């Protein structure tokens, strides 16, 4: 959960720059440091801006495209402001067979957002992910760090209510 939203004043501060340089020293290849650096910066800022990517790229001496590739690959790295609660739903094969789409449609209806969007009050962001690792218990969603299995169109109402 993020206590501050839409925060990201873009320019990296001294502490962040120092962290990046230290991480860089830990590895033979700077590329290995990218994910820890992105996590560190996101923790305070809530998301990673384009400007941050360029700044990291300049320090690591890796192309911004490469860093962008890592940032967009990991579903826990956000490239634009997100809500205080992140709802992730699994859209992989087993959850598909178990009608995950009914759950997602219900979420659309309750929160009036579609995938990738954030509610007007900045309380929820809805994101698809490829698997949440509970394939025998689909449909599965995760809100922040909590997993919900065997979600139904009824239970999703109560689950979301809890985070309102």
**Where along the sequence are the contacts to ligand FES (CB under 6 A)?**
90, 92-95, 131-135, 138, 140
For 95-158, strand residue ranges (E) read 124-129, 141-143, 146-148
Residue 50 half-sphere exposure, CB side, CA atoms within 13 Å? Answer: 0
Residue 83 or 139: which CB sits closer to ligand FES?
A: 139
In degrees, rounded to 5, the angle at the alpha carbon of residue 159 between the alpha carbons of residues 156 and 164 is 120
Q: What is the closest distance, in whole angstroms, from the C-beta atom of residue 132 to ligand FES in the complex?
A: 4
Whether the CA torsion 146, 157, 134, 67 is positive or negative: it is: negative
DSSP character string of 95-113: HHHTTHHHHHHHHHHHH--
CB of 137 to ligand FES, least distance (A): 7
Cβ 124 to ligand FES, closest distance in Å?
20
Element (H, E) at 20: helix 14-26
Shortest spacing between CB 97 and ligand FES, in angstroms: 9
Neighbouring C-alpha atoms within 13 Å toward the C-beta of 141: 26
Between 48 and 140, whose beta carbon lies closer to ligand FES? Answer: 140
Rank residues 59 and 129 by Cβ distance to ligand FES and give the closer one.
129
Closer of 35 and 135 to ligand FES (Cβ): 135
């Amino acid at each position: 959960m993020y206590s501050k939203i839409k925060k990201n004043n873009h320019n990296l501060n001294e502490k962040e720059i120092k962290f990046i340089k230290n991480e860089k020293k830990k590895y033979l290849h700077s590329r290995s440091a990218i994910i820890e650096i992105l996590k560190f910066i996101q923790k305070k800022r809530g998301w990673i801006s384009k400007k941050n990517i360029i700044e990291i790229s300049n320090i690591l001496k890796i192309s911004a495209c490469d860093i962008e590739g890592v940032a967009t690959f990991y579903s826990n790295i956000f490239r634009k402001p997100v809500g205080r609660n992140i709802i992730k739903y699994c859209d992989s094969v087993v959850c598909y067979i178990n009608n995950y789409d009914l759950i997602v449609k219900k979420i659309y209806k309750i929160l009036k957002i579609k995938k990738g969007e954030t509610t007007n009050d900045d309380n929820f962001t809805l994101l698809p992910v490829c698997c949440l690792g509970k394939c025998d218990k689909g449909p599965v969603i995760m809100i922040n760090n909590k997993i919900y299995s065997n979600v139904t169109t009824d239970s999703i109402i109560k689950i979301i209510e809890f985070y309102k």
